Amino acid sequence: MHARLTPIGALAAFALVLAPSSALAAGKARSASALAKLSADQAEVDSFSRVSPTQVVTFDETSAAAAGMDATGRRLGREMAVFANAVVRGAMSNRGIAGAAPVLQRLPTLKSYMRRATALRRASSLAPPRARVSFGNNFWTYRTCGSFGSPRPTVGKRWMTFNSNDPVGTLRSWGYHSTPDWAGGGWTRDQTYASWVCGWRTFRDHAYIVGSQIREQNYAGWRPRGEPNPELWRVGPWPYSSWPAYVYWWHRTR
């Protein structure tokens, strides 16, 4: 004999079924909200930052404050400029962009910002931000070239392996140049994608030689055409002022 479900029991059972999907929907809503805030924060900071001809980033805190940017936003702007410059200095030395890591430990607001960006990037349920997300005047730049709130590409390309009797000669014939260890080592082939917003050579394909084999990440057919190029001193103009910080973050979290 089966027990009949009372109206209250039926409602409780329905609630149990509904609860997981409701929690999932709420989680997605929170993630979307965090993504929008992340993107807006970057757009606000970049709108008050400038890059000099010698690739030094400065943040105009006075103008930002006059425009109503809150203390946390201004602190993020200061720290983003400090870190971007540290990444560039590392890229121009034998420390590489990874050499900026100790500097990041002294920048709590930016460190927290990057942690949120990483969590959102790894949330598989997230889709790229839609047009309703505010990027300020840099909307198409962020969407085209990549940003903390909309990383491009979203993942690194799968490695392909080829046999070669002359790996060095083969890679050079493919347009690759030898890459310093601090920029990932191996070999780099510069790629230019949407130069009018992303600049020149700001992306790359990447390869290594292992014995008589070539291991290659070839982003042909992807948009953008390559991963962010860590050889920052020889690319540009950068899509936006916080680009060096974004390139560091992309390579640390892909």
Three-state DSSP class for residue 62: helix
Distance CA 216, CA 208 (A): 6
pLDDT digits (tens, 9 = 90+) for 69-86: 989 889 999 999 999 999
H, E, C per residue of 94-123: CCCHHHHHHHHCCCHHHHHHHHHHHHHHHC
163 φ, ψ (degrees, to nearest 5)? -90, 145
pLDDT digits (tens, 9 = 90+) for 175-216: 999 988 767 789 999 999 999 999 999 999 999 999 999 999
pLDDT digits (tens, 9 = 90+) for 130-181: 434 444 557 789 889 999 888 999 899 999 999 999 999 999 999 999 988 7
Nearest CA to 184 out of 208, 148, 155 is that of 208
pLDDT digits (tens, 9 = 90+) for 2-44: 444 344 443 334 333 334 455 545 555 565 566 667 678 888 8
- Whether this prediction's pTM lies above 0.85 is answered by no
